[in-house]
Amino acid sequence: MRPSATLLFHAYSLASRLLALVAYRKVKARLTQAGIAPSRSRERLGYATEQRPNGSLVWFHAASVGESLAAISVMDEMLKHHTDLRFLLTSGTATSAEVAQKRMPPQCQHQFAPLDAPAPVKRFLKHWHPNVGFFVESELWPNMIVQTADTGCTLGLLNARLSTKSVAKWRKHLTTAKFILSHFSVLITQNQTTADNLRSIGAPQEHLHAGSNLKALAPAPPVDMAVLDATKSLLSNRPVWIASSTHDGEEHSVLAAHQILLRTYPDLCLILIPRHPERGDIVEQLIQDANLTCARRSRTDLPQPTTQVYLADTLGETGTWYALSPLVFLGGSLKEIGGHNPFEPAHHGCAIVTGPEYFNFAETYAEMIDHEIAVQIHDSAELAEQIDHWLNTPDALAATRNKSRAFISRQSGLMTQTIELMLAQLPQDRKTCE
């Protein structure tokens, strides 16, 4: 029997109702700045911009790009078993919407997620009426979860991950946590630690399943062979390394490391990929301030013989750069951001360098570092030292790349169990919905 709603949940619902319009103004401004049409911004209020398809509808709710790509990889696997399935993917950012449109299967539609307030969620559910819903990672939105379950939709928590801070907060409100988690028919976690943490805050043992990080199962980022060949030709035999998904405050360290490396490798080229391409102007100024020559991808530049830094400030081309060079520093790890997806460069057999702040992928990086697939550094000097080691010892680099490929291969074997659990949530009689 499901626990009753708590006073805290009712208070949250009331507060969200009062604050919805204020929150909408903020998210609308961000979407508008990113070039999203006003009609699509209203999806955050629950107003649909597409028609619901006939038949069973499986809804995936993801926060941003990484979670959306993980959801898309699961859709592709589910379609191998049931070609009649139709999917809805919701997310909150303009970047995730753009990437989803490029990568999701034809049987999928994308909408921006409704704000977690009673009215937007009600509008959303009235239109889409999903049969099954999967919330990806840590997207625990109370109104959305409770209202969706109340429609009879079967709910699952997929690729679940909770930070230490989140667990500590939920433990202060165990009754409410138990109430929220009781709405899930299946909870599939990234690892045993998360399964134990969810159990400790009230998740039903019989619904918990420890799995692996589904981001490992997404396909390798695509490669544009024309761009790759053209860039290789222009770089000729120059050595290249990559700094990917960098954030404000990290480019200084990366550029300082590059300056150190240039003393030994004067023709070395750095491909610098900021996490947010809209920071391109800022990053270009940092490169100029470091007295380094720069070419910029967003201006359709290609690196020239004198280019020391190639600023790849575009979306959807990371796979091309990973295919160009196997030496990758992953950002979001020198600042308290939590790190970024190491599986993407691993798919391309890259050797990976990370800073110490990778807590969003703590168990993954721990295993990768233990198996010498990734190396942890703390500052620009250590970063330069590691890149120099791989540039100077091709055999060591080749061994690391082989371990990277083997690591990804091991992860793919875990997909079968996850897909079986998810397929079991589908309605047995998948009749056409009016």
Q: Is there a catalytic annotation at residue 67?
A: yes
Q: Burial of 178 by CB count in 10 Å (0-12 exposed, 13-18 middle, 19+ buried)?
A: middle
**To 5 degrees, how large is the angle CA 80–CA 88–CA 422?**
45
Lay out the sheet containing 108-112: strands in order across.
108-112, 86-91, 57-61, 132-136, 154-160, 186-189, 208-210
Distance CA 151, CA 131 (A): 9
CA 7 to the chain's CA centroid: 33
Query: In one letter, which amino acid is 295?
Result: A
188 by DSSP, 3-state: which? Answer: strand
- Strand order, beta sheet including 327-330: 294-296, 309-311, 269-274, 240-246, 327-330, 351-354, 374-376
Instruction: Give the Cβ contact number of residue 420 at 10 Å.
Output: 10
Q: Which residue spans within 276-373 are E strands per DSSP?
A: 294-296, 309-311, 327-330, 351-354
Distance CA(312)–CA(203), nearest Å, equals 43
How far apart, in whole angstroms, are the C-alpha atoms of residue 357 and residue 377? 10
CA pair distance 94, 64, nearest whole angstrom: 9
Q: What token pair was written down for 209? A: 């399943």
Q: Which of 67, 139, 250, 251 is catalytic?
A: 67
Question: Which residues lie closer than 8 Å to 111 by C-beta, 6 or more apart?
Answer: 43, 48, 49, 50, 88, 89, 90, 124, 128
C-alpha distance from residue 126 to each of 88, 120, 131, 260 (Å):
14, 10, 12, 59
Active-site positions read: 67
